[in-house]
Chains A and B, each alone.
Chain A
Amino acid sequence: MDILLVAIDNAFSTDVILYTALGIFLGVTIGAIPGLSGDIGIALLLPFVYKIAPACSLGMMIGIYKGSMFGGSITAISFGIPGTAAAAATVEDGYKAKLNGHPQQALLTALYSSVTGDIFSDIVLIFLAVPMARIALNFGPVEFFALYIFALMLITLLTRGKAVKGLASGVIGLIIGACGMDPMLGTPRLNFGIKQLRGGVSLIPLLVGIFAISELIMQFSKDWYNVVIKKAEEINQQGTFSKYNANEDKMSLKIFFSTLKATMIGAVTGTSIGALPGAGSSLAAYVSYGLARRFSKHPEKFGHGSLEGVAAPEAGNNATCGATFIPLFAFGIPGSGIAAIFGAALIMLGITPGPTMLSENTLIIFTLFVTLIYANFINLGISRILLPLYARVSMLKTRYLVPAVFAIALLGTYASRNSVIDIWVLLIAGILGAVLRKNGFPLGPLVLGYIIGPGMERALRQALIIGGEDRFFLFKSSIAIGLYVATIIFLVLVNIIFRKKTDKNL
């Protein structure tokens, strides 16, 4: 109880609140710009984690994450262009609602349902993380190996019909993670004769390169500025603004309660899906939309500007925010790219994500939990006030944004270790990430493979040493067998689901 009070005191200190608010402001801005996402913002912040107090840096990262989730819906509703992949499902009804003369209702519905979904998943995280960490304390090398295989297969299989590419991407991540040193004996390997790579490929330049640099190369080649301006001109020509009546576009409690059911469906769905490694916020958003339509009293209104069709995906995608940390805190396995970056930040702060994290670093983790909850209310306040400003942010010219983001990435990466090799890793990782994206390879499995690779190898080799001559030692634990069976079940289920979808399309 004392620790909780100290944690609350830490979390509500002026510095932490200010950094969290700044993070939310930056996050919504980043999310509102098509082509940028929370991944980039948090990755860019990573090199600066050393320079800021732990609670402040974590608060800022949380703010960027939560803000970017909502920010993507602003351009989705205003221009029909999702600011982030997670907001793609919001375009369906959000943009139509705007064309029907209800932009403010749509935007505020998106905001309120995002915050509601987020709070729900944060509460679930707080109540589930501790019991799951206790279960994980019973895990030995055999169980951890099975868990790593399960997580890697899951994140591979859930990459929307690209399982082979997801597998290749995951294994490329494992190979990158194997560079440098053998985790058991410290034997140098795969360092190509470069002395500085003996410690392995550094985490910060790899993550910043993969997420930020590759995104810059890919997305900004599309010249989003012209796309957004063209859309704005189309809207003007349609004469929508001349028909706009502000009195009919006011948000009320009645409207909020009418969308509450869809919001809660999104919250529960998003939390469940967010807890699965690799599932992602865009999957959560689409599934939430589908379920809300199914259980709605007026399913025929979906696709024609229904506010329920805005509330459900927004609650769904934001509900993944807290849930995505469940596997990270309980098992040390990041369930998404953003969780991987958070994991990297925790490692930099001397906290090893995993089952012992909660017992060894109780104060900082409790501070994190409190920050997660109140960040939602700060998001509500800031976004409510600055909503008109954010819609204009998406019109920023890319010729100013790209060099600025690139410079921050470069400087931040060099500042972390003062190593030139990190710059090379950053650039090579950026090119690799861009090439992989261009060819349809997902990046989530790559990051997961890099992070869990050494741990997985260590677990396997420890298990085989402990097992001695018993070839079936890996299959003698009931928890491990359960995880292998779960992997096979997911393999079969996902295969059936995606095959049905392909057959339907044919």
Chain B
Amino acid sequence: MARDLAIDLGTANTLVYMKGKGIVLNEPSVIALNRQTGEVLATGREAWQMIGRTPGYIVAVRPLRGGAITDFEITERMIRLLLQRVGVSRFTRPKVVICVPSAITEVERRAVTDAARRAGAADAQLIEQPMAAAIGADLPIDEPVGNMVIDIGGGTSETAVISLGGIVALEAVRVGSFDIDAAIQSYVRREHGIAVGERTAEEVKVAIGSAAPMEEENQAEVRGRDLMTGLPKTVVLTPEEIRLAIDDVVSSIVSSVVRCLAKAPPELAQDFLVRGMYLVGGGGLLRGLADRIERETQVPVKMSNVPLEAVVLGAGHCIEHYDALKTMFMGARR
């Protein structure tokens, strides 16, 4: 008998929680395929290391963009492999709860559940990421008070106001930390005339990226390919440059938080001033982001203790209390 699973199928990383056991898998959502035969060569961390470094016949791809499936067949194969890795076989078909962005369309929802069922799940239910994040971040969402959670993932940023076990207000934008990486790539290409890869851009973001000026700031050396000569070239980037490069993306995230605050009922809005908002997701780790949101909304922003695992832990809690919480699943409320 397979143990039921909760899956945070993120644009950047996939986490799997097994009922009664905890988090059993945490890997990048990447799959490497042989372009000619269609064979899967690697998944997860191994495939992630191949991004941008493969010969012509291998392609390392992220099958999800903006939290939605861009390649149904590849996603199904990736989920099948993930389920196999956590012990699901042809004869043991578990119930699966999958976290998805609240902004995905009906067609995209269907694609996720179909992919999970075809990959071996007996039943696949969906839960909104901010709801799962609030449960996983241990916010008191069972009480009649306003809880606000900001989940910044690889492809989406979602802000939700939750009270008495349900979502009161929600705002989502299909912008996330991958858009920050893309903005850095585009800036370096435009201003310094060198091409850098996705992984290098991410390294720059982690090393010197920030959403607001910091007390201690360093420069970073970046190596890429000169667009004019085609030769390898090194340039030095400053934190101010990176802030400028990513400002549009950061502003878009902050604006969505402001819009969500404006949607919240006044009775709950006053709770935020006392309790603050909670930041979860890998994108929330960008330095200075909490300060910038706090400055622009005048509401305290706190970082969750488990920013990367909050979503899967919340979904894991739903799989542990499946019958009591099944009304929270997206299909149940339609």
Real complex partners, A and B? Answer: no
Chain A residues close to B by CB (< 8 Å): none
